[in-house]
Each structure stands twice: as structure tokens, then as C-alpha cells.
Amino acid sequence: MAQALSFSPYDRLTVQVPKNGSIDRLISAPDMPPFDPRITDFMGALSRALMKTPDARKFPEIVSLAHWMRPRAILELSQKFSATRPSGTLSLSRGIALHFAPGNVDTIFLYSALLAILTGNRNIVRVSSRPSPQIDLLIEVLNNLLADPAHASVADRLLIVRYDHDDTITAALSELCDLRVIWGGDQTVQNIRSHPLQPRARDVSFPNRWSLAALSAPEVLALEQNALSKLAVDFTNDAFWFGQMACSSPRVVVWVGEQDQASAAAARFWPAVRLAADRFASEIQPVNFVNKLVSQNIAAIEGDLLEFVPLPDNVVCVGELAALRAPDDDLCVGDGLFWESRIDEISGITSLLDKRSQTVISFGIPADDWTQVIIEAGAQIDRIVPFGQALQFGHIWDGMDLLTEFSRLVAVDI
């Protein structure tokens, strides 16, 4: 068991959950077996508590989180976890898991922590100090639930904290942990990795990624109006939640088909997207309307942009790329700025994808075609999902099974 350190670095650390939590208390708690009934009971209670909290219904991402941890889903997750364990082995926790949550997706800190709790780990989670009604609501529900003695075993093994960027605290926590989980940009990952771990500890990192949409132009042209409207609603859910800044939010739209088909499909699709995006318009800050226009003008000046797609305003901004490539980060400012291109066949998408590409939301392209592109053409992508599911979190993320990454195997070979 890890030994207690000098706790002077933690004077500037604010415990959010549980109210009486402490690092001493967490260190002294033993690990639990993965998917222990005490853990799964807590998950079910948390799902129900969120569903019953009126304010939670204001945030679709929290409703999605509550749905993800419902008892039936956790049972299925347990069965998948057991099925992947090699015969003659036991799965155990890694020990103390230290999570650094991103600032752009308010619910990731809890997904990360809950997967680590499910695998029996004790958890320290640093959440962003920036104002967030979603995080504040989740903290309130967690504190209310963990005050129940029935969930004392989880309260002993979970510590959610806030602190300003402080290398002394980060270094002390890193020395303490057995597993460090880093969500953030490339620079954040590099900065945190500069603090050494114990020799047997490990990092699981989630650096900068980008995502895209791929649509069959003929399939879009064949849609009836109601189906087109639903596709547009699903697309805006994928794009506008979290201000289009989540790693799985689509930035680029690729049309698959002949030029005249792609042009006709785009002429149907983008007005429908603009109509569906109307419910997000009030959330876009004035400066971001300007940022989108500036990014398009920069692309035009530098030769990356062929033309703008005409739309009535810039709630949705679309620029046609001069070449099939991922746009630079400074051209992806979020809040409804998209770049589009066209390919004749889905195999042509491989030149667009790179090691940073994460999710494709796909419409009208068969799974067998994607499998062929991935296996035969070596397309670099981690997820292919239908429209409307880009932001649905799963235990398989960024090419890793997090249940496996957050646990260890003990061979019993006698």
C-alpha cells in the first residue's frame, strides 16, 4: 500500500467530494474487487439520483451520463469485462488512480472516475476551477449521495479536488498514484508527464484529437424531408454540444460521391443543419461569431479555402477546402465552423486521416466498406459511429479498452 507523504503541498488543494474527504482517508482505504456489488449499487443510485434531479434535465450531457450508468448498462459492462479476461487470471485494481480532467467537456471527469471505481481503484480527480453549472450540479448530487452510510465504501475511495495550476501539488499527487489519467491538449499532457511517477505506475493519456463526418451524397439526396431534418438534428447534437470543442466533435465534413451529387447533397444538408442549429444560437458568444469569420478569411488568404457555402448568417459557417486535409487547429474555433471536401470513393478518405483523427460519424456508408478501408488501406481512426452518437462515451476510447487499462491481471497458473 502506498505510504503517506508530507501533506504540506495540499494546503492549496480544495476538496469538493466527499465533504469530509481527505487524502489520508483515501490512502488508508483498501482496494476493492472490480464490479464489487457495493460499487454497482452506488452506480445505480447515482443514475437514479441524476434522473430525479430537475436541474439535471437542463443538461443533455448529464442525462446521457445518467443513462450510461443505469444498472442494466453496468451489468452488460461487467459481462464484457469478464469475457475479455484470459482464463487462469484474476482482474484487480491498479491502486490509486489520479485523473486530470479536461476543461472543455464537463462530464468527462466523472466518466473517467467511474470506470476506475468500477475496476476497484481509489481515485483522486482534479476538476477544472472555471465556472461550470454542470460540474457544480454533479458535485452536489455526489455529496448528497455519499453522505448516505450505504455508500461509505465509495466515499472512502473517491476524492474530487480543485486547485490552481501548481506543480508542487501535481508532483506530490503524481508520486502518490499507481495510475495517472490525463485528459487535455498536447501541452497539458506534456506538462503533467514531466512529473515522475513511481517505477511501477503508468500513464494513460488523451491528447489533442480531431473528428469528422462522412456522408454518402446519393444517400442524402434520397432522404425524405423528415429524415433529412432528423439527420441535421443529430449532426448539430454531435457538433454544438461543448461548443464543438470536444475531441469527438466533427470539424470536417466529407462528401462521398460524384461532384454533382455532392453539390446537390450539400445544398440540401446545410440549410437543414442551419435550421436545426437554431436552438444553439443563443449559446454562441459574440466574439465566437467574429472568430469564425476570421478563421474563414485566414483560410481564404492562405489558399486553403475554395469558397464559402452561402447561408443566411454565420450560426453555421461552412468553407470548402481546396485540398483534402485536416485544417490547422487555428482554423477550428468551434461553435459551428465546418470545413467540407469531397471524394469519389470512401477509400479516398485515408489521405485525410492521421494519428490525431479520432471519430468519424458516418451516414450511408456500409460497415463493410469501413472495415475494408481500415484493414486494407490502413485508415487511422479509432471510432466510427452513426450521426447523433459522436459524444456518447464508451469504455473503449481513443483505441483503448479503459476497463483493461485501469486494471491489472494476476496469473493463477497452478
Q: What pairs with residue 97 in β-bridges?
A: 123, 179
Q: Does residue 179 lie in a domain region?
A: yes
pTM of the model: 0.92
The C-alpha cell 479503459 sits at 402
Dihedral, CA atoms, 392, 396, 398, 402, nearest 10 degrees? 120
Phi and psi for 120 in degrees, rounded to 5? Answer: 90, 5
Q: 160 and 140, same structural domain?
A: yes
The C-alpha cell 479498452 sits at 401
Q: Does residue 3 lie in a domain region?
A: no
One-letter amino acid at 222 equals A
Locate 146 and state its grid cell: 455519499
Distances (CA, A) of 411 to 36, 90, 91, 243: 20, 7, 9, 46
Q: 79 and 57, same structural domain?
A: yes
Q: 220 and 263, same structural domain?
A: yes
Given a contact cutoff of 8 angstroms between Cβ atoms, the answer to whether 31 and 119 are in contact is no
Question: Quick one: which of 329, 335, 287 has its CA closest to 304?
Answer: 329
DSSP 312-355: SSSSSEEEEESSSSPPPGGG---SSEEEEEEESSGGGGGGT--T
Given a contact cutoff of 8 angstroms between Cβ atoms, the answer to whether 338 and 240 are in contact is no
Q: Which of 208, 230, 261 delimits the end of a domain?
A: 208
Measured distance CA(55)–CA(134) in Å, rounded: 9
Locate 112 and state its grid cell: 473517467
Q: Does residue 404 lie in a domain region?
A: no
Q: 102 and 234, same structural domain?
A: no
Q: How far is CA 1 from the centre of its chain?
A: 31
Measured distance CA(96)–CA(31) in Å, rounded: 9
pLDDT at 270: 97
Q: If you ran DSSP here, which 8-state letter would residue 207 be given?
A: -
Given a contact cutoff of 8 angstroms between Cβ atoms, the answer to whether 113 and 87 are in contact is no
Measured distance CA(205)–CA(184) in Å, rounded: 8
One-letter amino acid at 151 equals H
pLDDT at 7: 47
Measured distance CA(286)–CA(245) in Å, rounded: 17
Dihedral, CA atoms, 302, 307, 309, 315, nearest 10 degrees? 20
Measured distance CA(322)–CA(21) in Å, rounded: 55
Q: 379 and 263, same structural domain?
A: yes
How many domains is the chain built from?
2
Given a contact cutoff of 8 angstroms between Cβ atoms, the answer to whether 181 and 112 are in contact is yes
Q: 228 and 187, same structural domain?
A: no
Q: Which of 153, 176, 208 delimits the end of a domain?
A: 208
Measured distance CA(254)–CA(346) in Å, rounded: 9
Q: 282 and 202, same structural domain?
A: no
Phi and psi for 306 in degrees, rounded to 5? Answer: -80, -50
Measured distance CA(392)–CA(196) in Å, rounded: 33
Question: Quick one: which of 317, 276, 321, 315 has its CA closest to 299?
Answer: 321
Containing domain of residue 99, as a range? 8-208
Measured distance CA(330)–CA(302) in Å, rounded: 13
Q: 124 and 234, same structural domain?
A: no
Element (H, E) at 91: strand 89-93
Q: Does residue 47 lie in a domain region?
A: yes
Q: Does residue 374 lie in a domain region?
A: yes
CATH of the domain at 168: 3.40.605.10
Q: Which of 180, 208, 236 delimits the end of a domain?
A: 208
Determine the angle formed by the axes of helices 225-240 and 259-276, rounding to 10 degrees: 70
Q: 365 and 286, same structural domain?
A: yes
How would you write the pLDDT of the chain (414 residues) with one tens digit per residue?
Answer: 444 444 467 778 899 999 999 999 999 999 899 999 999 999 999 999 999 999 998 898 999 999 999 999 999 999 999 998 999 999 999 999 999 999 889 999 999 999 999 999 999 999 998 889 999 999 999 999 999 999 999 999 999 999 998 999 999 999 999 999 999 989 999 999 999 999 999 999 999 999 999 999 999 999 999 999 999 999 999 999 999 999 999 999 999 999 999 999 999 999 999 999 999 999 999 998 999 989 888 888 888 878 888 888 899 999 998 888 887 777 789 999 999 999 999 999 999 999 999 999 999 999 999 999 999 888 899 999 999 999 999 999 999 999 999 999 999 988
Q: Does residue 111 lie in a domain region?
A: yes
Distances (CA, A) of 214 to 129, 221, 247, 341, 360: 36, 14, 16, 10, 7
Q: 185 and 220, same structural domain?
A: no
Q: 198 and 141, same structural domain?
A: yes
Given a contact cutoff of 8 angstroms between Cβ atoms, the answer to whether 18 and 151 are in contact is no
Residues in Cβ contact with 332 at an 8 Å cutoff, skipping those fewer than 6 apart = 210, 251, 295
CATH of the domain at 227: 3.40.309.10
The C-alpha cell 459551428 sits at 336
Q: Does residue 322 lie in a domain region?
A: yes
Q: Does residue 403 lie in a domain region?
A: no
Determine the angle formed by the axes of helices 108-118 and 60-68, rounding to 10 degrees: 10
- How many Cα atoms sit within 13 Å of 105 on the Cβ side? 28
pLDDT at 293: 87
Q: 106 and 178, same structural domain?
A: yes
